[in-house]
Amino acid sequence: MPRRTVFRRLAHISLNQEIRERYLMTFSARWLYHHIQHFPMLTSEALFGNQRPLELEIGCGFGEFLCALAEANPTANFLGIDISESSLLQAASQAAKLNLMNIKFIAANARQLYPLFAPDSLQAVYLHFPDPNRRRKFRKRQIFTPVLLDTVSRALRPDGYLSVMTDHSEYFHEMLELIEQDHRFEKTHAERYLSGFGAPIISRYQRLWERHGLPTLRFEVRRRL
């Protein structure tokens, strides 16, 4: 089942203008394609007006994980990207409830944002539970590709890291093999990969798949110096 269909019936949330302007940006696919030079770079300076470390989640969904990170780490900034604006309305609402000043969300196709990733600008990139749709016609939509790794390698700071996790074993091992062939990265752990994820706040996706008995598989790599 595609991840985007799991919570399709979730109630719609409306945000007032102040909250929307503080937390949520919507980037038009058409304008990104034709006028990407008019969009801000994905840096702390451009988005938050400061030089704090910036951590990015691609496919942040409802923002539970990222909001928890932002609340626990007020001296860093956090940016969530998701193609579903309805999910990000939930994420922005949660950020507002917590009165977070160090988080923003962008509704856009992450692939279109790659040119906006600045060199040495990110402390961490999270790719947690990407859509593993295995149907042939959707394979081209999968996010974990050599192009993503090119972008992340360029954007990570020298001590920055990439965290990847999923419950889908076949997709996980494809991603694992791809990262193991890329000598720009090295694992932060001795094991080939890790099983389980005990964060204080876990996403709805993780809770759902674990209730179905599917273990969370993950790896973390850092950019080589």
**Those residues with Cβ within 8 angstroms of residue 216's Cβ, 6 or more apart along the chain or in another chain:** 165, 166, 167, 195, 196, 197, 206, 209, 210
Q: Could you tell me which residues come within 8 angstroms of residue 89 by beta carbon, excluding any fewer than 6 positions away?
A: 12, 13, 14, 15, 24
- From the candidates 120, 131, 150, 182, give the one annotated as an active-site residue: 131
The pair of structure tokens assigned to 97 is 């409830």
* Active-site annotation holds for 120: no
- What whole-number distance in Å separates Cα of residue 107 and Cα of residue 120? 23
Which residues are annotated as part of the binding site? 57, 82, 109, 131, 167
Consecutive H or E run containing 162: strand 156-166
**Binding-site annotation: residue ranges for S-adenosyl-L-methionine:** 57, 82, 109, 131
Give 78's DSSP letter. E
Binding residues for substrate: 167
According to DSSP, residue 186 is labeled E
Kindly list the catalytic residues: 131
